[in-house]
Every structure is written in C-alpha cells, then in structure tokens.
Amino acid sequence: MKLNILKNLFVLALMCTGLVSCSLNEYNPTGTTVLTVISSKAGFQLAINNCYFGLQRSYYGKLNMMLCTEGGTDLWTARQNSNYYSSQLKYGQGGLISLNVASDLWNSGWDGIGSCNLCIENADKVTDFKDVNEKNALVAEAYFMRALYYYHLVEQFGDITLTMEVPKVIDNSPKRTSALDIYEKCIIPDLEFASKWLPLSNTAQEGRGFRKSAMGLLARAYLQTKEYTDDNKYVVKALDLAKTMISDCESGGTLYNTYMYPNLVDVFAKGNNLNNKESLYSVAFSQKGGSTNLWQHNDTYQMYYCKPDQFGAILYTGHQTEYGRFSNGTLMPSKYMIDLFKQNDNTIDPRFYTYFQTQWTANNKYTWNSDNIKMYDKTSAVTTATVVNAGDVAIRFIRPEESTYAAYSAQKLTSPSLVVDYNDLYGSDKRVKMKYARLNDGTNADNPFFYYYPSLSKFNTDNFGYISASNGRFGCDASAIVMRMSEIYLIAAEADVYLNGGSGAAVYINKVRTRAGAKILSGNITLDMVLEERAREVGGEHVRWYDLKRTHKLTKAYLLDKNPDVGDYFVDGYYAVRPIPQVFTDVIVNGADYQNPGY
Amino acid sequence: MKFKEKHFNMLNKNALRKSVLALLLICFSLSSFAQTTNTISGLVKDLSGEPLIGVSVKLGNGKVGTITDPQGKFSLVVPTQSSLTFSYIGYLPQTILANQSFMNVVLKEDNKNLDEVVVVGYGTVKKRDLTGAIASVKSDDIISSPTGNAMEAIQGKVAGMDIVKTSGQAGASVNMLLRGTRSIYGDNSPLFIIDGIAGSFDNLNTYDIESMEILKDASSTAIYGSAGANGVVIITTKRGKESKTTVNFDAYAGVSGFAQYPSAMIGDEYVNLKKEAYRGANGNYPEFMTSIFTDPAVYSAYQDNKWIDFVGQLLDKQTTNQTYNLSVSGGTEKTKIFASYRYYDENGLLEGDNIKRHTFRINVDQAINSWIKSGINVQIGYLNQARRNQGVFGNILTFVPLGDSYDANGNINPIYVSTTQNPLSDEIPGQYRDDVRTTSVNSNAFVEMNPIKGLTYKSVFGANLSIARNGKFFGPQSIANVTATYARPVSSLEYDGSYGYKWDNILTYHTKINKDHDLTLTGISSWSFNQDEMFYAIGQGQTLSSQYYWNLLAGTVKQGISSTFQQSQSMSYAGRVNYSYKGKYLFNASLRADGASRLADGYRWDAFPSAAIAWRMSDENFMKSTQNWLSNLKLRVSYGISGSAGGIAPYSTVANAYTYPQPTAFGNTAGSSIQYAGAYPNASLGWEKSYNTNLGLDMSFLNGRIDATLDLYNTDTKGLLFQRQIPITNGVSAWASPLSGWQNIGQTNNKGIELVVNSRNIVHRNFTWSSAFTFSMNKDKVVYLPDGKDIIGSNLFMGESVRALYDYKYLGIWQQSEVTNAALYGCVPGDIKIATVPITTNGVSDNGVHKYSATDRMYLGSTNPLWFAGLQNNFTYRNFDLSIFFQIRYGLIQNNALITRFNPILNTNSSPSGANYWTPENTDAYYPRPGIHSSTTQYLGWSSLGIVDGSYLKIRNLTLGYTLPEKVLQAMKIQKIRFYATAYNPMVFAFSKMLEGQDPERSGSDNFPFSREFVFGLNVTF
C-alpha cells in the first residue's frame, strides 16, 4: 500500500513537470521593423536608397518604359513596320491590348511612392541628424523621386490615387484623384521642395537627384499642366525657371551646375556617358548593384537599331566588340521623323547624321547568292561571283536631299553593296513601304529593304560591365539620361509660345539649333515648330508621348496626318491613357470602376 | 457515377460467382487413399444455420482434404480416429474428432476484423469501438508500390485522401488533401504522428511501417487540436516481438524511363508553322527562307538539314532504380528490438538527377519492472541528392531546333547555333551542380507506468534534428538561371539546420463498472518547439570550375552572405472521455486548448471541443434476424471544432524589414536599401476554425465477405486565414510587388461522401480474388468573402470552389465566314474565340458583343476533383499472386502549361509537336492562326487554350508475384521467398484529347514528366 502511494506520488510529480506551461512569446533575434531601422541617419539612408528601387528596376533603360514614352507617337513605328509590340507601338493594331501592358511601370512606380512616403513621414523621427539642413537635403531626394514617379504614373494612366502617407488602414477601394490635382498637390510642391534642398552635385553618386534635376523636372511639370488646364499660371513659372537655369548655364553653371556641350557630337560621345555634364538627371547602372539580372541593366542601346546582319556582309558577332553594334531593335523611325531633318533650304539638319547611323561597313567577306540577287533586285552586274569585302561599305541609306543621291541611286541595282533608297523605304502616303516592285521580274515582293533603316544611335555604347557572348547577354552600364539641358531651352520656347505667342521663342530654339549646326529660325515660333524641334533634338529620349499629350496632339487626326502606320489604330478618348493593370484591378473591390474607359 | 454502378453490378454477380465456385469445387474433388478408413460426411453451417460453401476440410496432418459443396456438404475418406480441421476465411477454424459418420459442424464467425486494434490519437481502440472516421492501411499495401515515399505508396487507397504527385523529378514528394481544401492559404497537409509523436514522413523507410491510420473526422482529430485540423496520419513502425526472431530481406531493381512528353517540332512540321506565321504576319508565304531564318547561322543549319530533336536527346534514356532493405526483429519477455536498414537509389529521367537514401532504424522496448516500461525509437537518415534544373524542359521544347547539338566527337556543343546556348549545356561535365545532402535524426523515447490498475501514465519525448546542405555551382557554360544580380560562373553553399522537440504527457484511466459500463479518461499536455537556422554564402567569378562550391572565396568578382533564424513554439492541454455501454452505445468527447506563438498576442489561445456517439445496431436483439446477411451495422455521428494556424509563418504579426545589400546603385557604388519583408502585419490575427460534422455507417455483409464503410461529412470553416494582396496604391510593397497581409476573414464549406468496400469475391484453396474499392466525393466552396465580393486577384469567388480556375472560356477559332462578327470582338479570322460576359451601360446590355476584355473572364471550374476512386484487385492462384490497382480522378480542370507552349509567333523558336493550328485551309483546328499576334503574353484569351478537363483513369500498379512452395523452403530452412515483377504507373487514360501523350496527374506542369517504372523484386523472410 505504501509502495502504491509512493508510486502515485512519483507519477504525479512527473506529470506536473509535464504540465508546466512554457512561454509563447515569439523570439526573433534577427527580426526588426522598418521604423526601428530608419530612426537613425544610417538607417534612413537605406530607406532613401530604396526610393530609387522602382526607377532603376523598371523605368529608364528598360524597353517597356521606352515603348510607353516614345511608341505610338508620330516619330516611330515598329521595326519593319511589323506587329512587334503592337500593344504599345500601334495601339494593338485594332485588336486587343493586354491590360497589363504597363504593369511594370505601375508596380514599380507605386513601390517608389510608398518608399518616398515612408521617408517623408518619418524624417523627423531620425535622432541623429546634425541639423535641419542635413535632414532636408536627404529627405529632398524622397520628394524628388515621389514627384518623378507621380509624373510618369499620371501621364501614363491618367487620374490615379493620391497617396502621400504611410497607410494607417489598408484601403481596398482606392479613389482616383484628377491629374491636375496630383500635379498641384504633390508633383509641383515636392519638386519645389527638392529644388531648394537637394545638393548641387555628387559625381561619385550619379543617379541621385541633384538640385538641377529637381529644377529641370519642375520646369517640365509646370509646362505639362497645359495638358489639363488652360490657365497659364504654371507656364509662367516654367518660363521663369527655365530662364533661371539658362542664365546659370550660360554663366558657367556656378549656381546650379548646369551645362551644355558646345559641340553636338559631345552630347552622346562615349567618353561623356557617365556623369554627362549636359544631363540634368541620369539613372546610373553598375555591376555592383541592381535588382535585375546583370545583363538586364540599361537596354536602351538595343531599342532603335535596325537589322544590318540581315545582309550577309555584316555578321552579328556580339555588340560588345564595336561601338554601337546591335541588331534588330524595336523601333523604326517614321517617314515623318526622317523628313523633320530636311531644312527649309533642302539641306539636312546635321543632327540627322549625329543622332542616326545610316551606313554600315562589312565585317565579313560576302559572296552574293542567287536568292539574294533576286531578293534585292540586282541586275546581271551582280553574280554569284560578286563579293563584298570586309571593310567595304555594305549598306548605305540614301535620301534625296543628299548631293550624292543621284549617283548612288543609279547604282542601287548594280553595286555589290546594298543601297537603301529613302524612296524604297517610305511611300508618298507617309507609310513604310511593305512591298517592293522588282524591276527585274515585275514581282510585287515583300520589301527586302525595310530591315535597313536609319537607326537612332544616341544610346549606342561600349560600356558593358558584363559580357557573356555565348549566352547573348550583355550587361550595359551606361547611364540613362532622363533629361538634359537643351530641353530647358525648348521648354522656355514652348512657354513663350503659350505666353507671348512665340515672339521670344526663337532665341531659345536657336541656341539649340546653333549648337547643332542647323539653320537658325526667325520670326514667331509656333507650337508646331517647337514640337518639330523637340523631335529633332530630344526624339527617342522618353518624352514624345507626353509632348503630344501636353500639346493635345495625341489624336487620331494628328497621327493619321503624320504617321498613318500608327494613326490608323488610334482611337480618340481611349488610347491616350494606358489600361490600369488587371493585376491591380483584380485585387481591389472597385476594380471595374477604377479601370480607364474602353479597356 | 458510372464507376459506382459498375461496383454494384459486381456485388450482384457475387451470387452467380458462388454457383460457379461450386461447380469448380466438384471438378477439384480429390482422390481418396486406400487405408483403414471410414467415409465421413457432414454439413457445415454458420451460426445462423446457413450452409457454408467452400470450407476447407483437412485431415489433421494436412495432407488429405476436401471442400464443402454448394449445399455445405462434404464427404471424405479418413483413417479411423482422425480429427478434421475445418477452416474458412472470415471464420474461426475448428478441429473436431471424426467419430461420427455424419458430422454437423457449425463455424463461428471470426470477428478478427472487428477486434483488430486501431491506433487512434494518444491510444488504441478496437475497431468495433470506433466512433470516428478512421481509415487504416497495412504494411503490405504500402510496400507494394516501388517508391521511397510512404504517402505516394498509398495513393488512391484511402477514401477522402487525394494524393497527387506533380513532378517526376527524383525524390519528388506528393501533394495531399484530406477531405478537400478548407484553408485557402493554410497548409492543407495533414499532421503526421510517427510512433506517438509529431514528425515528418519524408525520411521514413516504407518497409518499417507496420500500419498507417488516417484520422478524418473532427472527433478523431480533435485530440490533436489545431495541428490536426487537416486530418491526422498516425504511422506506427514495426516493433520486435517476443521470442520470435525474424529476418526480412527485400530487394528490387527496376528500369524507369518511357516518359510521356511531347517532342518539339522539327523538319517540315516546324518549317510549315514558321511559314504560316510569316503568312499570318505578312499576308503571303515568304519567298525566301532567309525571311524566316534571319540569323545566317540558323539559315545555314537549315540548308544543311541539321535538325535537332532536343526532347529525344534529353529524355530517351532509361535509368535504373534499386532498393535493398534488411530488417531484424526479435526479443525476450523484457526486451524487444526491431532494427532495419534500407538503401534506396532512384535515378530521375535526366542525367544528373538522382537521390540516394540511407535509412537506419532501431526500435527498442524494455520492461523495467512490473509497472514501468520504456522504449526508444531512433531513425537516422542520410539523403544524397543531385538535382537538375527545371528550366531545361522549357528550353528543349522551344529552342531553335537547328544546329549542332553535339560536336564531331560526340560532346555537347555549348553553343549549338549562332550565339544560342545548348539547352543540354548543364550536362557538359562540371558545368552544373545542385547537390543536397541531408542528415536527419528522428528519435523519441517514452516511459510508461501502470502504478495502479487501469491508470497509465505515458511521457513521450521526441526530438528531430536535421542538417541540410545545398551546394550549387553554375559553370561558365551552364544554362540554368543563376541567382538574380549574379553572373556565371557562380557558386553558393547553404546550410539549413533545424531542431525541434516535442514533449507529450498522457494520463489514461480505464475502468469497467458493472461489466456494462466501460470508461476511459485521458488527460494530455503537449509542448512543441521548433527552431530553424540558415546560413548562405555565394561567390561569383571563380576561374576553376573544378572547385565547384568548395572554394567560394575564389569567386573574387562578387560575394554575398546571409543568415536567418526562425523559432516557434506551441503548448496544448487536452482531455478526453470515452464511454461505452455494453459495447453497443459508444460515446466520446474531448476538449483541447491550443496556444501558438505565431499568432497575435491576445489571440494565441483557443479551445477546440468535439464529441461523437456510435451505436452498434447489429448487437441489438431486433437485428438478430438479419445476422445471416448483415453481420455488423454501426452508426456513428460526430461533431467537432478544429483550428488552424498552419498557413502563417512565424513573425506574421509584426512588420518585418529586410536590408538588401545591393538592389540599387549610385555611380559605381552599390546602394543597400531597406524594404518590407514577408507579410504585412496584422496585430489581431487569430485561429481559423472548422466546424465538422461526420455521419458514418460501418457494415459487414455475407458473413464478413463484404465490409463496407460509408461516411458523410460537412465542414464549415470560419475566420479563414486569408492572405490578401494589398492594393499597391497603398504604397506598401516589396521588390516592386504588392505585399500581402493575413486576415481572419471569409468562410468555406466542404461536403463529401466516402465509401470503402472490401470484398472477398472468390475464396478457394487454390484461387482467391479479393477487391478493395474506395470512393470519395468532395465539394468545396467559398461561402463568404470580405465585403461580400469576389476577389479576382486572389482567385476567390463566392459560391465556387476554393481551387478555382477563373479565366477566359475557349469556344473555338473565329472562321473566315465570321469575319464581320469577329471584328466586333476585336478579332480577325484565325483568332481565338472566347465566351464574353454582357456589359450593361445605362441599363442597356451589349449582349456580350464587345472587344474582349478582362471582364470576360469567368469561373471555369475547380482543380480539385469532384470525385476520385481506387480499385485494387488481388488474385492468387496456387503460389502466384497478381494485383492490379486502378485509380480515377474525375471532374476537375487543369491549366496545362504544355498546351500553351505552342508558339504561334513569327520567330524561330519551336513548339510541341502535333499542334493543330488554324490556317485558311485548315479551319478545324484547336490553336489560333500563327503570326497574327507578336506575343502570346499580350494575346488576350491565349490562356483559355490551356484549360482542359483534367480527369483521368490510371493503372497505377500491376504486380505479379510467385512464392516458392513450402516444400522447397523447408529444405532451405527459409520461411518465405517471393519473387515479383511490378509495372508502376504503366498506363493512363486522359479524358481530354488535348492531354494525349501527357500524364494528367501532373496537373498541367510542363516540367519533369513521370517515368514509367518496371521493377523486379524479391522478399525473403528467415
């Protein structure tokens, strides 16, 4: 009996130890919260850096950004005028447009805005700023970036949600705010703050916003309000600001570090790519960092090049070996774009040859074959024994304004090289010629010349930080210029057109033209003249779609008139904004209401 | 429902079969012996007086015998004073002295089936006393499949448990769903209890398993509280038995391969597609092939007719698999030991994809004194796995099929044409490594005490340790995608260490009052703790490939390191009452309180009750008359609440941050940045609860020849743990993607029917045929969602299945004659035609006539099957045995990635062979016209092509075995030797014709197809 009691006590004791409750508190030694980290200056800097994440991931240097800012305009069509990227370049060619066509811009833009809100809201909680100046200089980067993201989101998507705070409660039914409100409540005040507080320069940290970056973007933003209101109050500010910058530039950039290269060739010269002095703001790429794969850095060099290696005398050996060698880019200039470089006296604006490549040299000994002789409509002067030697000119684009045109044109069916005639590439109907009528056999064949068009070469580079030719992968570390000083002159000119009917605009435009070696303009400048000048000077630099929107030219009538290959498919009141991404409308409660009309 | 009818036909046929059997018996009558003999005749009946047919009647020495005829009669010439043994399956054997010339024999039913002990949560119970829905699988059923994965082995064998394997990669595991999808994001996998303590089945040696019990209803699982919300699988390993030493040796080896996977287009099929794409884009066929092959190198390969069948080069291989298992068991009165070792070697379809697994187990039971016993179970596992990259499958289907895949010496050409990398590059020696080595120890020890009669105290302490290391190397020629922001060559090494322990204390008191009242009380406490640590290092740019991942510092271009830590713990208390009156009325109730650290403070604890009653109707007097055909009838009803926190990771209730070293750059400097990490916090996150009702019926017909169990259940899940994407306009995101946050919101429902029938169709001395049939039907649906609205982005639709497919509905292809109509939808002839949803503007409906848009997507069905069933048939003829196992899953759809691999774009990439696409001349086609779109990702409606009926019927296992006759064995002093051959996964019949040449079980994945396996094996018992 006694034993039994002992036994029971023993068991009971064991049980009690088993029943002791243990703590259920979470132990999380590695864990931390965002707010804890950013309460120090060093941590706050991490949050500031994150404001640039979306920009570097999805904006400048990325194909879709280019398609969404330059595609679908008067200046470009798809390569070979095909259905390539038709959603962006030709508004779906009358068919369907994917609703996620700009979802990368959408998501990365909001990612950036959220990061900026976090910084702006918590800057005061940082405990170790030296003084208010140090705080403002740093937080001004967040203001600058928030404005840049909103600028693109508003221009791409129209009225969107205005979120300027870290959410206390998650909003599953977001409201839309008018575009002008977003300019007035966010973009403009943010840039005004940034223009005051950002540092002047930091060449070691290219890619951060500087004072001139905020000023330049602010000038753009002021002017862009013309898209939404007839009120010129911001245009006045645009002109003032542009004048301030021009004055600084012309007096050596002492105040704001602005600069314009005296020679056109220097603007996109290979040595001036990093820390380009004319650039007001550039996005930097480095193999040291980035959120994408190393070969997906700055891809702009790939976007405008034609396909010279379609002709056997030019072998694609990897674009790392020769400056500017790429093949099969996405955008092809429209006839309108080419024609813009014809000056009133029938000479060609020098920018055509500086900004475009029109001639290619053979890098391979090529012997003609019978297929190609037939395809390129060669006469019997070219036989299967005819050779193009490495080093010879292999492809030459010619246009009627050139003095040599007649001579080259005469040999285009007899020379061993390819002579691509403007008139074989573009028709009098302002379209790309899809067919070519062979003289030899009378066949109306697929145009064999449309692979070889003048190729915008502004973005050509040899700055490849990563090369894996065997995988066809090249990581380009060239900086992507967001905005440069010559555009400020054009902003001033456009503001003058709105304010003074263009009486004072010639001064500004001619500065740009003189630098380019183009003939100067005189008299009153019209809005159309400014737009044409912008096409010549900053065409391809992520602005054209917004230019057309601002000047109310993103219309079917205008596009049909200038670039009917694209204009055919534009629908007024529909395509001037992108579809709100379906990945977003699927998540919110009011998805159908949030979508832009028509989509 | 066709299958069910078929089954009933089978039952009806039983009567017929009996007659056939009787006829057979007459033919089999044996010759008699000349001796001092008597002729004995007799009649064998069961307790209800029905004659028993086919009863084996044998003389004591077992050499002479006969069987009863259709009237239950027998006649046998026997030596005088001999005794006869009567035996019949399902009845207790009887030996009677043959001292009368006519014997009336009554055989008693062997209720072994009902007296079988079933393992339940924290205890055991006789099958007859069960109140809940529990399925039991025995060792033989598990080892009959040549797989190393215990759960793959029971695919289709448990009603209500849908087990699917989706990858054919070596060592790939399975997806399990017991009674449908309740939780949306939560892990719907059941809880595994191994030898009394929660653990993982991954490393288990299938040969070690004695039995598996699957606890399905809430009254069975409630004792495990939240952890058991998705069902519980209790696995009991083999233990030593007293004074009986047994040595088992099992081995098999097999060939596998013969994968079902389409070839990529080559030759004319490929060229024709490209020409059509050109015509679609340009309006006419190309005059010159250079217009298609714009790359001169590809064109040149085309002119030289250098076609490459990449799929063939990758997959037309057979590999070998082998397993060896040795186990020893035995013991004395006090000490019992079971020990085993298994070597499992599986080679995947691809070169360099294999696993080797060593598993060692020792189970010891030791009685310390009359009232204390203890035991230790230890399993040590070592896994050595080499993995291939999944991306190879996309590459072999789509890469340009022209060039030189191999050089003149038969080596893989890293660049096979132009600058294109060979998709087989990872097979170049030394170019790609992804090696996993895992060492795991799963152990537990228990002490059990019986201080006074009826009182048992058991304390079980289990510990799991696991160290996994993963070394990766991407050589300069590897084609696998490297870690983002790094470039080849790059190598990395990761160590994951996990450590966890569980301590369960169980106090049980059992008593009988007045013989009729049987009462068991159980009290439980359970503490669980888990900790995971990870360390990772990466280096880019090493010069020597031969260093693989063993010299990360050689990667001088760029290096990175990271480490993480995670810990969670939970505590539970539970109590249970089991009561039965006369074994006829059974009652059981339990309550468990669970606390989990991963939930929000203040929401951590909750209690989960359950109750069940059962009534053995067949024991009632009024049921006496039905005993002759209905020997057992039991009705069970149970109700319980279970909770789940399974889907939530630790630290989900606080805002976590992560500092990335280099996601941005400024100048040539990396900019480190801080971002949100994990889920957006919710400080009021609590338990998800399921309210479960189960109604069950156990039946036994025709003297146990047919056993059937029917269960009906209903589960309402409320406070659903739901990870909702936060609209990105709120500005909370990570890596430019919206964050998700957990909420307790929404409600789902599951209803289902489960039927299990085991029947012995033919029972004869030389020939037997038995069948096991399981049928499960489950309907899950989302009952309620936040704001009462569908959440398309989360794929949730009120009133529809939890596993919804919401997409465009394919109707066909727009035809030339419909050109005008097609234009109204933004389409041209040759475009995909989809169903539209009418849009109403200002009260006017457009009747669905509009340009296709996202609003035209609709609910198309569920990826969970409406019903699934398994049918096992076992035949024995003398020493031969044959088994065949069919499985069917019906009424589900899948989104098939192989179908949408078709490439209608004007480029030189290839497509799966056999695609039937629309052209003006071939209008009866499934795929749209090539060339009219320049992208499939931006082709609205494209995704509709891949959504097809995923139903299939499969022969999973076909085994033929031969056991050596006893005579031979006796001479060899061996207890048993059996040889067998198994065809595993030999045949599948897809319902959708688009799935021909694929295995629909893979749920539409285009990676790692299954291999078919042919295995030859041996079981030896000493």
* Contacting residues of B for A320, CB less than 8 Å apart: none
Task: State both tokens at A332.
Answer: 């092809």
Q: Which phi and psi (to 5°) does residue A141 adopt? A: -60, -40
Tens digit of pLDDT for each residue in B425-455? 999 999 999 999 999 999 999 999 998 889 9
B591 min Cα distance to partner chain A (Å) = 16
Taking alpha carbons only, the member of B486, B854, B736, B875 closest to residue A59 is B736
Q: How far is A538 from chain B (nearest CA, A)?
A: 24
B656-666 and A359-361 strand pairing: unpaired
The CA-atom distances, in angstroms, between B819 and each of A156, A189, A444, B814, B822 are 33, 53, 26, 8, 5
* Element (DSSP H or E) covering residue B302: helix B296-303
Question: DSSP character for A455?
Answer: E
Task: Take residue A387 and report the two structure tokens written for it.
Answer: 């050779």
Q: Is it the case that residue A468 has pLDDT exceeding 80?
A: no
Among the listed ranges A9-13, A194-198, B280-284, B753-757, which one has the minimum average pLDDT value? A9-13
pLDDT band per the 50, 70, 90 thresholds, residue B89: low
Q: Tell which residue, A81, A62, A537, A1, has the closest CA to residue B282.
A: A81
Higher per-residue confidence, B122 vs A124: A124
CA distance A56 to chain B (A): 7
Q: What are phi and psi of B474, to 5 degrees?
A: -115, 105
Q: Do A479 and A207 contact (CB within 8 A), yes or no?
A: yes
pLDDT digit string (tens) for B44-70? 887 667 778 778 888 766 666 787 887
Instruction: Give the closest residue to B673 by CA, choosing from A204, A125, A55, A478.
Output: A55
pLDDT attached to residue A430: 97
Query: In the prediction, which pLDDT does B36 show?
Result: 66
Set of chain B residues whose Cβ sits within 8 Å of the Cβ of A82:
281, 906, 934
Beta bridge partners of B464: B442, B500
Mean per-residue pLDDT for A315-330?
Answer: 68
- Residue pair B946/B895 in contact by the 8 Å Cβ criterion: yes
Residue labelled with tokens 């060698």: A325
**A83, A207, A284: residue with CB nearest B281:** A83
Whether B26 has a pLDDT exceeding 60, the answer reads: no
Q: CA-nearest residue of chain A to B598?
A: A26
| A536 CA: distance to closest CA in chain B (Å) | 29
pLDDT of A317 above 90: no
Q: Residue A7 is nearest to which of B451, B664, B666, comparing CB atoms? A: B451
Q: Are B870 and B890 within 8 A, CB to CB?
A: no
Taking 90 as the threshold, does the pLDDT of residue B558 lie above it? no
Terminal-to-terminal C-alpha distance of chain A: 87
Q: Which residues pair with B249 in a beta bridge?
A: B326, B1020
Cross-chain CB nearest to A587 (options B598, B731, B793): B793
* Residue A391 to chain B, least CA–CA distance (Å): 19
- Scanning A511-570 for CB atoms below 8 A from B yields none
Count of other CB atoms within 10 angstroms of residue A408:
17
**What's the full length of chain B, in residues?**
1022
Q: Note whether B669 contacts A32, CB cutoff 8 Å.
A: no
For B93-203, strand residue ranges (E) read: 94-97, 102-107, 117-120, 123-126, 134-138, 161-165, 174-178, 191-194, 197-198
Q: How many residues does chain A have?
A: 599
pLDDT digits (tens, 9 = 90+) for B235-269: 999 988 886 788 999 999 988 888 889 999 999 99
Query: Does B853 have pLDDT greater than 70?
Result: yes
- Residue window 141-160, chain A: list those with CB within 8 Å of chain B: 160
Q: What is the pLDDT of residue B125?
A: 85
Contact B459 A18 (CB under 8 A): yes
What element of type H or E holds B585? strand B585-596
Q: Is the pLDDT of residue B12 over 50?
A: no
* Chain A hits for B507, Cβ within 8 Å: 15
Residue A535 one-letter amino acid: A
Banded pLDDT at B6 (limits 50, 70, 90): very low
Q: Which of B282, B287, B730, B808 to mutate to test the interface with A (most CBs of A within 10 A)?
A: B730
Per-residue pLDDT at A319: 60
List, for residues B348-357, the tens digit of each pLDDT value.
888 889 999 9
This complex has an ipTM of 0.93
The C-alpha atoms of residue A64 and residue A72 are separated, in whole angstroms, by 12
DSSP H helices in B666-725: none
Euclidean distance between CA atoms B526 and B506, whole angstroms: 9
Task: Say whether pLDDT at B28 is over 50.
Answer: no
- Mean pLDDT computed over every residue of chain B: 87
User: A220-275, pLDDT tens digit by residue?
Assistant: 999 999 999 999 999 999 999 999 999 999 999 999 999 999 999 999 998 899 99
Pairing of strands B976-990, B952-963: antiparallel
**Which candidate from A28, A104, A588 shows the least CB-CB separation from B651?**
A28
**Mean pLDDT confidence for A330-355:** 97
Q: Would the CB atoms of A49 and B933 count as touching at under 8 Å?
A: no
Confirm if B1012 and B986 have CB atoms less than 8 A apart. yes
Q: How confident is the model at residue A407 (pLDDT cuts 50, 70, 90)?
A: very high
> Which of A8, A85, A584 faces B451 most closely, judged by CB atoms?
A8
pLDDT tens-place string over residues A105-117:
999 999 999 999 9
Rounded to the nearest angstrom, the minimum Cα separation between A561 and chain B is 24
pLDDT tens-digit profile of B327-342? 999 988 899 999 999 9
User: Structure tokens of B129?
Assistant: 């006393």
| B846 vs B833: CA distance, rounded Å | 17
Contact B296 A309 (CB under 8 A): yes
Query: Which amino acid, one-letter code, is at B801?
Result: S
What is residue A561's three-state secondary structure? Answer: helix
So what's the pLDDT on residue A154? 98
| Alpha carbon of B853: minimum distance to chain A alpha carbons (Å) | 7
Closest-CA residue to B1014 (of B349, B500, B320): B320
Confidence (pLDDT) at A22:
66
Q: In what order do the strands lie in the sheet with A393-398?
A: A359-361, A393-398, A418-421
**What distance in Å separates the CA atoms of residue B766 and residue B875, rounded to the nearest whole number?**
10
Amino acid B87: pLDDT: 80
- Both tokens assigned to B991: 């319902």
Q: Of B118 and B960, which is predicted with more confidence? A: B960
Q: Min CA distance, A424 vs chain B (Å)?
A: 18
Which residue in chain A is spatially nearest to B741 when comparing CA positions?
A170
Q: B939 pLDDT exceeds 80?
A: yes
Q: B604 to chain A: which residues are within 8 Å by CB? A: 24
Return the structure tokens found at B714.
């209903």
**B635: burial class by Cβ within 10 Å (0-12, 13-18, 19+)?**
middle
List A residues 395-434 in contact with B (Cβ-Cβ < 8 A): 434
- Cβ of B313: how many Cβ atoms within 10 Å? 17
Cβ-based neighbour number of residue B411 at 10 Å: 10
Residue A309 contacts B where some CB pair is shorter than 8 Å: yes
Nearest-CB residue to B294 (from A285, A295, A310)? A310
Angle at B697 between CA B50 and CA B236, to 5 degrees: 100
